[in-house]
Structure 1
Amino acid sequence: MRSLPLRALDRLLTSPPDPARVGWLAQWTYAHRGLHGDDLPENTLLAFAAAADVGLGIECDIQRSADGTAMVFHDWDLERLVESEGALGLHASDFLETLRYRGREFGIARLVTLLELVDARVPVLIEIKSRPGYDIERSCTAVEAGLSGYRGRHAVMSFDPRVSRWFRENSPQTVRGLVMREDAVGHTRSAWHRHLALWIARPDFIAYHVDALPNRFTGDLRRRGFPVLTWTVDSARKRETARLHADAPIAEGAGLG
């Protein structure tokens, strides 16, 4: 019973995007953190170049350096991937570029460097990381600065609905998405939280956890004209789920086919 007024509020508070603005989203498969694997670390320029070279779109993660620069990296802390320790956000961008991925001769890249590498050949999905108490507006400003002058197809997205709202208000030409999941790790486990995030974000598209598909929420959004991407597609079974119940996969490993 409760879901009926929530869906009515979805229609009242969120208008479907212009198909001409977002139609390209469904035309690609996106390499999750680049075309990475055992021999190539995630979110590195080599992984992104490998994806672009075979015609895959790119999904990347953004953390903010101490000097307010958008850096391409997933984790809050460095030690899983890099020969250093501590929080990435405590270090300036120049220093982060000097660090080395374990066993490699290259460091963490700036967003602007990634965009120079891609050079509009394939689209780029930029996930901005956030957590409770984090100054997300500074990260949005850093990403906007990194995107300045870039003419290739791109979109920003985040689990944090404030990201989409910030770009709607400050950079309305930027395509914006809301990332969502329903499991114990997520911040939108209840239907109420999912709808509230949607209303705050008012996104152009949704990127939904593949393990939660299919569901009524994403089905309703697709019927209304919102592209639904899905992540992380890493098996043949999940690839089929994405084909049937989403518009494009964000994939890695066996999920790339």
Structure 2
Amino acid sequence: MADISWLTARPIAHRGYHDLNKTVWENTLSAFRRAVDRGYAIECDVHLSSDGVPVVFHDHGLQRLGGTEGYVWQRTAAELAALRIGGTADHAPSLKELLDLVGGRVPLVIELKGTPGHDAGLVERVCNLLHAYRGRAAIMSFDHWLIREFRAHAREIPTGLTAYGSADHELEAHFSMLAHGISFVSYGVMDLPNRFVGFVREKLSMPVITWTVCDERAAVKTFAHADQMTFEGFDPDATALS
């Protein structure tokens, strides 16, 4: 297995280092620029536009972030780029714009957002961009149908399962994804500890990052049961964890 120690070397800024959408909004170039300036790794979300371009945006719908009706999959990349996020000067960037901005200066952890019937080619197109990118980057997803495509397209790109839950049926579904070559797990911090996370860390020596850590309590829980945190709403470098 390739060395992916970089994945857990620094805290990971959830949707960039935004300020909880007060003035710097999530998944914008401004939030990513702030993360780079602080040396934090970046987590972001990627959908496929109607014309097949990987675009950085969290929600399936456009209302909360873009102030308009409809869904990401219904708009072209150019139409999404014209959206003003939260009424700011920032737009919804393409993944290529993010890669060009970061330029390998900090690691990227890219969550692929599937939309059944509207995401054909998402995994392949994201991986193609990352194969040409010289920086450190990983992909992950909640969506099992996308994870099943990872092995065919990722090659050397680290791949992960994003997950949550502690019920037996949830954990068994997570265990089933181990058959698809994943190399790390991103887990909901409030559902730790559990037997799935314990197994992948202790038996498979697989790194586990958590989401989303918003305070010192969750940070302490992360480092008791996982290897690194995906955070928002505070500055980890300025927080003494006890």
> Displacement, 1:85?
1.8
Structure-1 separation of matches of 2:154 and 2:125: 12
Structure-2 separation of matches of 1:78 and 1:183: 31
Q: 1:89 to 1:136 in 2, by over 3 A?
A: closer
SS of structure 1 residue aligned to 2:123: helix
Structure-2 separation of matches of 1:136 and 1:89: 8
Q: Choose 157-166 or 239-248, whichever is displaced more.
A: 157-166
Q: Choose 139-148 or 61-70, whichever is displaced more.
A: 139-148
Moved over 4 A (4+): none
Asked if 1 retains the 8 angstrom alpha-carbon contact of 2:49 and 2:77, the reply is yes
Asked if 2 retains the 8 angstrom alpha-carbon contact of 1:235 and 1:255, the reply is no
Alignment correspondent of 2:224: 244
Alignment correspondent of 2:37: 53
- For residues 136-159 of structure 1, give each alpha carbon's deviation from its aligned partner in whole angstroms, at most 9, with x where no partner exists: 442112212332410100000001
Whichever residue aligns with residue 226 of structure 1, its letter is M
Please show how residues 65-84 of structure 1 align to structure 2 within 5 Å: 65-84=49-68
1:126 aligns with 2:110: yes
Q: Choose 113-122 or 167-176, whichever is displaced more.
A: 167-176
Structure-1 separation of matches of 2:201 and 2:112: 24
Whichever residue aligns with residue 17 of structure 2, its letter is L
1:204 aligns with 2:186: no
Counting aligned pairs with the same residue, the percent is: 38
1:194 aligns with 2:177: no
1:107 aligns with 2:87: no
Q: Choose 167-176 or 36-45, whichever is displaced more.
A: 167-176
SS of structure 2 residue aligned to 1:80: helix
Structure-2 separation of matches of 1:23 and 1:143: 22
Structure-1 separation of matches of 2:124 and 2:171: 30
Structure 2 gap ranges (5+): none
- For residues 101-140 of structure 1, give each alpha carbon's deviation from its aligned partner in whole angstroms, at most 9, with x where no partner exists: 2321221100000010001000000000125x34544211
TM-score normalised according to structure 1 size: 0.85
Whichever residue aligns with residue 234 of structure 1, its letter is C
Q: In angstroms, what is the RMSD of aligned CA positions?
A: 1.9
> Displacement, 1:220?
1.6
**Equivalences, count:** 234
Alignment correspondent of 1:213: 192
Asked if 2 retains the 8 angstrom alpha-carbon contact of 1:137 and 1:163, the reply is no
Structure 1 gap ranges (5+): 1-17
Asked if 1 retains the 8 angstrom alpha-carbon contact of 2:46 and 2:54, the reply is yes
Alignment correspondent of 1:25: 7
- For residues 56-111 of structure 1, give each alpha carbon's deviation from its aligned partner in whole angstroms, at most 9, with x where no partner exists: 00000001100000000000111101132211111111121112123212211000
Alignment correspondent of 1:152: 135
TM-score normalised according to structure 2 size: 0.90
Whichever residue aligns with residue 155 of structure 2, its letter is P
Structure-1 separation of matches of 2:78 and 2:123: 20
> Displacement, 1:234?
0.7
Whichever residue aligns with residue 159 of structure 2, its letter is R
> Displacement, 1:198?
2.9
Q: Choose 73-82 or 215-224, whichever is displaced more.
A: 215-224
Structure-2 separation of matches of 1:161 and 1:172: 18
- For residues 21-47 of structure 1, give each alpha carbon's deviation from its aligned partner in whole angstroms, at most 9, with x where no partner exists: 322212121000001122211000000
